[in-house]
Amino acid sequence: MQRPPEVREPGRAADERLVALSDGVFAIALTILVLDLSVPPDLGPQAFHAALREALPGIGAYALSFWVIAQLWWDHRRILAAIPEIDVRVVWLTLLGLALVALVPFPTAVLADYSEESSAVALYAAVVAAVNAVHLALLLLSHRGPGRAASPEALRLQRLDDADVAVAVVLFGLAVPLAFVSPTAALLSWLLFLPLKPVIGLRQKVAARRARRG
């Protein structure tokens, strides 16, 4: 099978095409999330309010996945921007990550309907952990590119970038076996993102300023 031109001719054009493809997949995944949210028409007041209550788990799952996909999109854009050259490894890892992102609406719908089921929580956690694992692999590739700075400040920034993505891999990865012990505990474990992400992000900003001065 002949290799596509985008892979044989890396550069700015290939980078723009890959970014455009990625943005499109993320946008579609975000849009599909809302399609499962609905209330049947022609309901009486009592049935209408009951239907709204029944829709709350779906709204919660939608909000969770919108935030997750938005974070994944932001990380993906940042990682691609840091990769000096688009090669075959970057292309295939990106395609794998996009395939998993496109899958997110499915475990989201399952989680909305079966949040008390271990398999539903484990499936959602596994998909999100897998996307972040792909992003971590892309990030590690960017560190090995030609011309990468090796100053202490730059190395610290690289480690913080790795930690930012690795936190998601670890938290969602650990939630998979935890879901079979307690689905509720697995769901609550994702709240650890709330303090961890801002703390790591603040340290990244400080390290980035120091690296630019260096």
pLDDT tens digits, residue range 78-134?
888 888 788 889 999 999 999 999 999 999 999 999 989 999 999 999 999 999 999
Find, among 179, 32, 21, the residue nearest to 106 by Cα. Answer: 32
The Cα 58–Cα 38 span in angstroms is 9
pLDDT digits (tens, 9 = 90+) for 144-194: 755 555 667 777 777 888 888 899 999 999 999 999 999 999 999 998 887
Looking at the chain, list the stretches that DSSP marks H as alpha helix, in order from N- to C-terminal side: 5-8, 12-33, 45-82, 88-103, 105-113, 118-143, 152-179, 183-189, 193-213
CA distance 26 to 129: 16
CB distance 131 to 101 below 8 Å:
yes
Asked if 34 and 110 count as a contact pair (C-beta separation under 8 A), the reply is no
**Neighbour-count burial for 47-65, b at 16+ CB within 10 Å, e otherwise:** eeeeeeeebeebeebbebb
Expressed in angstroms, the distance from the first to the final Cα of the chain is: 46
- Give the CA angle between residues 97, 32, 67 to the nearest 5°: 65
Cβ(154)–Cβ(211) under 8 Å? yes
Which whole number is the average pLDDT over 63-70? 94
Binned at pLDDT 50, 70 and 90, residue 214 comes out as low
Dihedral sign of CA atoms 80, 27, 202, 185 in order: negative
